[in-house]
Structure 1
Amino acid sequence: MTTHGDPEPDPDSSEPGHASTVDRALVHKAAVSEVFVTDVRPRAERSVRTAVQLPLVHAYYNDHLQSPATHDALLLLEAGRQAAIAGTHAHIGFSHDTTMIVDRFTFALADLKALVIGPRPGSLLIDTEYIGKPNRAGRYRKGRVEQRYLVGGEQVGEHAMDVLFLRHQENDALRRAQRGTPAPLTSDYDDRRPGDDPRLVAPERVGRVHPLNVVLAGEVSDDAGISAEFTPSFRNRSLFDHVYDHLPAMTLVEAARQLALLSTAAPRTTHTVGIAAHFARFAELDDAVRLSVPRPGPSDEEGRVTLPVTFHQNGAEIASVTMTMGSLL
């Protein structure tokens, strides 16, 4: 990604700047180091433009073996999530006790070369539009969020989410109704897996350096495809920035990517270029989750392959994440 240290816009300008990150509460994060949004400005009644700085060094998002190195697709996905949340609070008028529950999303990158990491942090703009109708009480209960990612004025990607907007009390009631029992918390566990789990997939096979960022164990491979158990470490504070009562959607997406890289068997040259996900149920903490992917089919004219990953818990499919993988060249 090309960045030249351009001067920050005037504070009175409608263009957002990259001088410092926003308050972590605005993007629902506990750690300042996990905040990537630097500014958010209104563009229209239901539209905002958000500035994002993409880090050069990060224990999770920059822990990759791919060459040439690009800004992580999941970092851009997280940036979009943060931009959407910040916009709802700063300019759309949602209270800070509102939770955004993602039902499904699509994400696509148009230009990987624009995301190659250079000598300076990446400067990104995200245009976000909120689509939906309020109920009779004036509240938005569900809607759609559509985003465009811009680098140097050129669009490099797009992201769309179908979401529910729930207050914390409503979300807690939904969780109790679905489970029938109170949900355990990540803070109830020392960790989800032993630190020396011999079943853990070797980091280099999923394009990683540090074992803490590996979320798969117990790999099984046959003619039909590959499956593995989802075993993220709760000590990974990028994946588990605060206390959860479920396995967050972003951790499932990471698992899908790692299984896709296992399937392609080329983790050093394969990049994520597209994701389509649907989350049917919450992934519970107290039951095993297993994911599977069929053997890769033929690539398309651009050399990209699409891999449908499914997640099962207690015999039911709880999520599906289709990964589109390709190379930079």
Structure 2
Amino acid sequence: MMTVDLEISGAPARPAELSFTRTVERALVHRTSVAEVFVTDVQQAEPQRVLAGAQLPLSHGYYNDHLGGPPRFDPLLILEAGRQAGIAGGHLLGFPPDTIMMVDSFELDISDVPALRIGHLPGELLIDSRFDATRMRRGRVRQGVVRQDLRLGTGHLGTHSMRVQIVSREELAALRTVVRGSPAPTTRDMTDVDDLLQASPAMVGRVNPLNVVLAQVERGARAAQAVVRPRFGNRSLFDHDYDHLPAMALTEAARQLALVACGDEHAWPATLTGEFRRFAELDLPVRASAVCTELDPAGRPTRTGVAVSFYQDGSMIARSTLVMVHDD
């Protein structure tokens, strides 16, 4: 159990306990596989505030598949845990079971990167979420912001925020059909085959080819471009059927392309942002480009900024920024 001191609406602090003994029901975080559920407890602390606990695994086929350096909890694992806590918290606050939280944008800032180093025990992540409705319609929340404070063990790790749209599954299906003019194909319809032009795992900081999401990589001077080509057999990125490339797949593509552009497969993202303007359709190629900027004015660079843009059918559909740290 983790004990958290709460100060609610100016009242004296009181303790709240979060359990890390078992994961929550997988439907509560919209996962199919129990192995992909990281939230272990969720409790309402205030009318628009929810506390969640998440256990970070010591070994995972996707999140722990990295080259070299001291083993760390993946920042994208922190991002996924925060996303799951936001979904579970929304349901706890009254969102119907068929609700989908579509992420328009997110910001993750890891202020204590060394705290991500893995020890002998799984990580215990506390996620303190505050929900703000920004648009209502007929008494229902349609858009909102989730702001999260992150604590790993006893120390402050960083912050995470998401701007989301709230829709039902039926509304989303109708919207997708109207925009496309026909129903969208799903990942169930896609064949999981090796791409002969897939990036080598070592180029993108991976060991397992199943975790590579880039193909046709071209590296320039502090820049790179590629086609986003994930493996649909990767059940961490595609835990259930999608009719588009999900935000987490594009974020992984941004991370991998940043490693290529920086020329350092051992770097780690300390800051991550994502903005998603349109759905990344499955039946059209998605191309990505990255440009690096040194953030340290002199001496050996320890931080590199990377801007990544995603294009489909001639239009920008998403973009991401990363601050990569070179912490040996």
Question: Smaller-chain TM-score range?
Answer: over 0.9
1:284 maps to 281
Which residue of structure 1 aligns with residue 177 of structure 2?
A: 176
CA distance in 2, matches of 1:105, 1:42: 23
Alignment of 1:258-269 (within 5 A): 258-268=256-266
Paired residues in the alignment total 315
**Are the structure 2 counterparts of residues 123 and 224 from structure 1 closer, same or farther at C-alpha, using a change threshold of 3 Å?**
closer
Equivalent in the alignment of 1:4: none
Find out whether 1:297 has 2:293 as its counterpart.
yes
CA distance in 2, matches of 1:105, 1:310: 15
Deviation of the 1:9 alpha carbon: 6.3
Partners in 2 of 1:25 and 1:136 — Cα distance? 26
Amino acid in structure 2 at the alignment position of 1:145: V
Partner amino acid, structure 2, of 1:300: D
Query: Residue 55 in 1 paired to residue 57 in 2?
Result: yes
Residue type of the partner of 2:39? V
Change (3 A) 1:51 1:266: same
User: 1:25-174 maps to which residues of 2 (within 5 A)?
Assistant: 25-90=27-92, 92-133=93-134, 135=136, 137-174=138-175
Structure 2 counterpart of 1:225, from 201, 217, 223: 223
C-alpha separation in 2, matches of 1:87 and 1:203 = 36
Matching residue's letter, 1:233: R
Q: Give the conservation status (yes or no) of the 8 Å contact 2:228–2:286.
A: yes
Higher strand residue share: 2
Query: Is the partner of 2:295 in helix, strand or coil?
Result: coil
What CA RMSD, in Å, does the superposition of the two structures yield over aligned residues?
1.7
Q: Measure how far apart 1:317 and its partner are.
A: 0.5
Q: Read off the aligned partner of 1:315 and give its amino acid letter.
A: G
Pairwise CA distance, 1:42:
1.0
CA contact (8 A) 2:269 2:325 kept: yes
Tell me how far 1:138 sits from its aligned partner.
Answer: 1.8
Q: For residues 224 and 81 of structure 1, what CA distance do their matches in structure 2 show? A: 31
Contact 1:66 1:271 (8 Å CA) reproduced: no
Q: d(CA) in 1 for partners of 2:85 and 2:319?
A: 24
Deviations 1:67-121 (A, max 9, x none): 112100000000000000001112x100110000111111110001111001111
How far does residue 28 in structure 1 lie from its aligned partner after superposition? 0.1
Does the CA-based 8 Å contact 2:112-2:157 persist in structure 1?
yes
Q: What secondary structure sits across from 1:163 in the alignment? A: strand
Give distance in 2, aligned partners of 1:229 and 1:145.
Answer: 31
| CA deviation vs aligned residue, 1:189-216 (integer Å, no higher than 9, x gap) | 222xx32x32111101111000000000
- Aligned residue number for residue 316 of structure 1: 315
- What are the ranges of 5 or more consecutive residues in structure 1 without an aligned counterpart? 1-6
- How far off its partner does 1:260 sit? 0.2
- Structure 1 residues 210 and 113 mapped into 2: Cα distance closer, same or farther (>3 Å)? same
User: Normalized against structure 2, the TM-score is what?
Assistant: 0.92
CA separation of 1:93 and 1:117: change in aligned 2, threshold 3 A: same
**CA distance, structure 1, for counterparts of residue 201 and residue 134 of structure 2:** 45
Aligned 8 A contact 1:141 1:165 in 2: yes
For each residue in 1:33-64, what CA deviation from the matched residue of structure 2 results, as whole angstroms up to 9, or x when unmatched?
00000000111100011000000110000001
Classify the secondary structure of the residue corresponding to 2:121.
coil
TM-score, normalised relative to structure 1: 0.92
Partner of 2:240: 242
CA contact (8 A) 2:62 2:236 kept: yes
